[in-house]
Structure 1
Amino acid sequence: MRASALALLASLAAPIALAAPAAAQVRVSFVAPERYTDAENRYGSGLSKRVVLAEMRRLFEMLGDRALAPGQTLDIAVLDIDLAGFDQPSFGPSQGVRVVSDVTPPRFRLRYTLKERGRTLLSAEETVTDLNFLLRYARSSSGQSFYYERELLRDWFQARIAERRPPRS
């Protein structure tokens, strides 16, 4: 009886599984991260490059899950990262702080290809930055890491990937 019930469930579930569209997928690669402009604090405080890259990968994957349609894939090669602000040496246990000002916006150099069922929809290389980032992204009191980078990439993802607006020249 138990075996026949399992067989019945399996036969009912098979057409549903076959009819489900392929899930969207984001693949992120970091090209020569040892040469990135600024992906870690040089003075020993803050997050390591490994943690920064893992967080950027997670962010791209999360944005892809929200914006990509089933059957679409996005390959992103991160060619350079320059986090918002700059490292300022200091004395004491922290050994340095990140100072954010309007002259130090976050900047990413990306090469990306968006495909749908193997057909290329969009492919480009561009530098993603916003010189007005302090005016556009009112800092929340949440204290989350990479706030400006998140907002910049969220806006870029919406414009470029979700809405497929071409890069500005």
Structure 2
Amino acid sequence: MIQGAALLALLVAGVPAAARPVSVRYLTPERFTDAENRLGSGQSLRVTLSEMTRIFEDLGRRLPPGDSLAVNVLDIDLAGYERPGVGLPQSVRVVQDFTPPRIRLAYSLRRKGRVVAQGEDTVTDINFMQAANPRFSAGGLYYERAVLRDWFARRFGT
């Protein structure tokens, strides 16, 4: 039986890239500031990038027909920081109001094949803890999802 992530991968693989409203590339992800757990707990880089791709694809569904968005992710710094566990085999991610997520990206929006907007942004929000509530969010990367949703709405008006 095919599980959720595998089914999604099969479905996306069957859709031509030109038909997808969002394409996401990660430039040197192994050098990202904080996109994976390096102290033994939390998610791997592969899982983080997969979830980030899903966030961008979900946002892309808000684009009008005929629009497409290309995103190059240049750096990811997840909300919070890793704190080594004292007497524990794993670390803990501590999220506080002074540890917002930061995602640096370059984007290009095309409408019917023509570039209508492009640029480079650092997506962050110092008030991220007030804007997002993990209890009401589907999937992981709650705070990153919220700041990207707000950026997308401001930047593309959808």
The TM-score with structure 2 as length reference comes to 0.82
Q: After TM superposition, list the pairs within 5 Å mapping 1:20-169 onto structure 2.
A: 25-65=21-61, 67-90=62-85, 91-93=87-89, 95-140=90-135, 144-163=139-158
- SS of 1:140 mapped into structure 2: helix
- SS of 1:111 mapped into structure 2: strand
Aligned length in residues: 140
Which structure 2 segments of 5+ residues have no match? 1-17
Relative to structure 1, the CA distance from residue 82 to residue 62 in structure 2 (aligned partners, 3 Å threshold; closer, same or farther) is same
> Which stretches of structure 1, 4 residues or more, deviate above 3 A after TM superposition?
141-144
2:101 corresponds to which letter in structure 1?
P
Q: Write out per-residue CA displacement over residues 41-74 of structure 1, whole angstroms, 9 at most, x where no aligned residue.
A: 1111111000000110011011101x11111110
Query: Corresponding residue for 2:10?
Result: none
2:110 corresponds to which letter in structure 1?
K
The TM-score with structure 1 as length reference comes to 0.77
CA distance in 1 between partners of 2:72 and 2:21 (Å): 14
Please tell me whether Structure 1 or Structure 2 has the larger radius of gyration of its CA atoms. 1
1:43 corresponds to which letter in structure 2?
L
Which structure 1 segments of 5+ residues have no match? 1-21, 164-169
Relative to structure 1, the CA distance from residue 70 to residue 131 in structure 2 (aligned partners, 3 Å threshold; closer, same or farther) is same
1:150 corresponds to which letter in structure 2?
R
CA distance in 1 between partners of 2:21 and 2:49 (Å): 18
Relative to structure 1, the CA distance from residue 143 to residue 69 in structure 2 (aligned partners, 3 Å threshold; closer, same or farther) is closer
Contact persistence 1:114–1:122 (CA under 8 A): yes
